Chain A
Amino acid sequence: MVLRIEDVHLQYGSSVRAVQGCSLDVGEGELVSLIGQNGAGKSTLVKAIMGEVPVASGSITVDGASVASKSYSTIRAGVSHVPESRGIFASLTVGENLRLGAVTRKDKAQVAADIERELERFPILRTYWNRGASLLSGGEQQQLAIARALLLNPRILLLDEPTLGLAPIVVDLIFDVVVALREQGMTILLVEQNAVRSLEVSDRSYVLQAPGKVLGSGTAAELGRMPAVVEYLGFSPAEVGVTR
């Protein structure tokens, strides 16, 4: 397993329990999605994976090593996080944003080749190389954010609400990108509110219910056989047109 979360409890302060006993794992080359409504604890879990929220009990490991004992940059080397806000540097150019993605890498010689690889993957970024990032559309910014995250050559890509606030046609584009990355062998944990689209593209999904409890997990068909999941989502996962 690349990422393994075991019986994790997370809380803000001494009283607000955001996640209670969540377990989840993502295997090599898998596309796993984490779905659930607002306030289900998805974002807190993501923060805990990135070491931003301390783990009260339980364990989070990347390639068997606990993230609790690692510095932020070490975690990032293994888990590349595309945050919900995208985190791009608005007044810098696309090119400068990409260079910043690889800024912590030691193998400088390889960086240029990897930037070229991302420009092949996202041709629009080559077209707008000198353009200020704030002038890109939402979908283009999301591609830039993903390309920048991939420049760390991470073990696992953590996509946090990548389609939030985007137009339907751009949502399609982002899901196409996610599927293409999966086909290229990238290990991905996709955190999404858009349950239908996530179920369509994922190998497996975890349905999270507040406060951070796993209501059910498995393929769309398996989830469709769980009454509690069907009731929580308001539709049967078995009915979505799984593309995988």
Chain B
Amino acid sequence: MKNLNRLLAAVQTPAILVGLVLLAALVGVTGDVTTARVATLALVSVVFVVGLSVFSGNSGVMSFGHVMFMAAGAYTTAYLTIPVPLKKTLFSDLPGWLSWLAEVHSSFPVALLAGGLVAAVVGLVTAPVVARLSGLQSGIATLAMLLITYNVLNSWTEVTRGSSSMIGIPRGTTTWWAFGVAAAAVVVAWLYRCSRSGLQLRASREDFWAAQASGIAVGRHRATAWVLSALVCGLAGALYAGYLTSFNVNGFFLTATFSFVVMIVLGGYLSLSGAVVGALAVSALQEVLRRFQDGQFTGGNELPAGVADLIVAAVLLVVLVKAPYGLMGVRELRLPRLTRRGRGDAERSADATAKEPVSVA
């Protein structure tokens, strides 16, 4: 019985979070077409924000560049799943050394995995920069990486179609696929958080210098988390491409970055629960506001375009002022009956710490 309790205590947070994403999936599959679309894209957002949280949540360093990994996953999926004849028309000017790209083709599941792996490779290439930088410099460097990615995608027309849309991607992503990947992402993120590397990275988030003094190789663990989070965000990109069936390079730039940053900051970027709750809550809020703006709740009286975005930004400002570390702080969701004295104290302590500036050195 004691062992069972211990096991329950260890798995309760990921179990609750998987339960939450399952709920979103059920809403999607039982609702109308619009609801299904909102729910599926919310699950894709969960995958992305959980991926971002693997890095930012454990290291305490915010990244504004993760959308580049999503782009890597989306473009890979497009290349692997667009039917070969269509691809030959779309990419008639492929440079010779990349001409093989017009011939390759795979099923959606393979393209999904490939999307994650290509993003992980991009993560591997950029990891040395992240390992060496801290604080503000690190945040700006991630933004610079996003700018580089955007400009390459926008300008390398013969390979990426530039500002024209990628079209003809078969619909591979279903609500259940999105749920499956979101659940897997939650489990992977939780396992990493509890791993030796995750623990050491969280220690560096608390006190960079004390962590170094304990012999913790902070840069190495930051790089590990960066690559793992790139992989998860790449999966989100692949799901995104496979759901929308067409996308544009502008989908992977500042608007998307801001939207995901709102999700993770509102939920609480230091906590995995915060990432999941933030992604689901902001997705729902955006949809409600969209309907409000379209006049669905006001008898057809439409509001000026952009009101929904303004309200989301205002909500973010209020949360930043009232709860700088988001709705969850550094807490994780737990079952109330398992919250005994010791564990409850740990949570309260974590909450107390969350109100103080966390070192992002």
Contacts and interface: CB of A to CB of B under 8 A. Distances in A.
B216 interface: yes
A76 B349 contact: no
B214 A131 contact: no
A128 B345 CA distance: 9
Chain B residues touching A, range: 20 to 34
B215 A89 contact: no
A97 to B, nearest CB: 8
Contacts of A99: 199
B352 A89 contact: no
Interface stretch (B48-56, B71-79, B202-210, B244-252): B202-210
B68 interface: no
Residue of A85, A103, A104 ringed by the most chain B CB atoms within 10 A: A103
A148 to B, nearest CB: 8
A91 B354 contact: yes
Contact of A76 (B209, B213, B345): B213
Interface string A72-92: 110010000101010111111
B349 A131 contact: yes
A114 interface: no
B213 A83 contact: yes
A92 B202 CA distance: 8
A135 B202 CA distance: 18
A101 B215 CA distance: 9
A132 B348 contact: yes
Contacts of B307: none
B353 A91 contact: yes
B213 A128 contact: no
A35 interface: no
A59 interface: no
Nearest to B215: A104
B268 to A, nearest CB: 13
A50 B206 CA distance: 22
B273 interface: no
Interface of B is mostly: helix
Contacts of A85: 210
Contact of A89 (B196, B206, B212, B348): B206
A91 B215 contact: no
Nearest to A128: B342
A84 to B, nearest CB: 12
A88 B215 CA distance: 14
A92 B206 contact: yes
Nearest to B358: A91
Contacts of B342: 128-131
A134 interface: yes
Given A76-B213, A76-B215, A91 B200 contact: no
A96 B203 CA distance: 9
B132 interface: no
B343 A130 contact: yes
B200 A89 contact: no
Interface in B158-206: 196, 199-200, 202-203, 206
Interface residues of A, number: 29
A100 interface: yes
B152 interface: no
Contacts of A93: 346
A115 interface: no
A212 B213 CA distance: 24
B276 interface: no
A92 B213 contact: no
Contacts of B209: 87
A2 interface: no
Given A130-B342, A132-B353, A81 B213 contact: yes
A67 interface: no
Contact of A135 (B196, B216, B352): B352
A214 interface: no
Given A89-B210, A92-B202, A130-B343, A103 B353 contact: no
B330 interface: yes
A135 B349 contact: yes
Nearest to A129: B342
A54 B196 CA distance: 32
A88 B210 CA distance: 7
B350 interface: yes
A134 B215 contact: no
B210 A83 contact: yes
A93 B214 CA distance: 16
Nearest to A149: B214
A105 B343 CA distance: 28
Given A99-B199, A131-B346, A132-B345, 5 more contacts: A88-B210, A89-B203, A100-B214, A103-B199, A128-B345
15 contacts: A50-B213, A87-B207, A88-B210, A89-B207, A90-B207, A92-B199, A92-B202, A96-B199, A103-B196, A103-B214, A128-B342, A130-B342, A131-B346, A132-B348, A133-B349
Interface of B: 196, 199-200, 202-203, 206-207, 209-216, 330, 342-343, 345-350, 352-354
8 closest A-B pairs by beta carbon, nearest first, are A132-B349, A104-B215, A87-B210, A91-B353, A135-B349, A130-B342, A89-B206, A73-B215
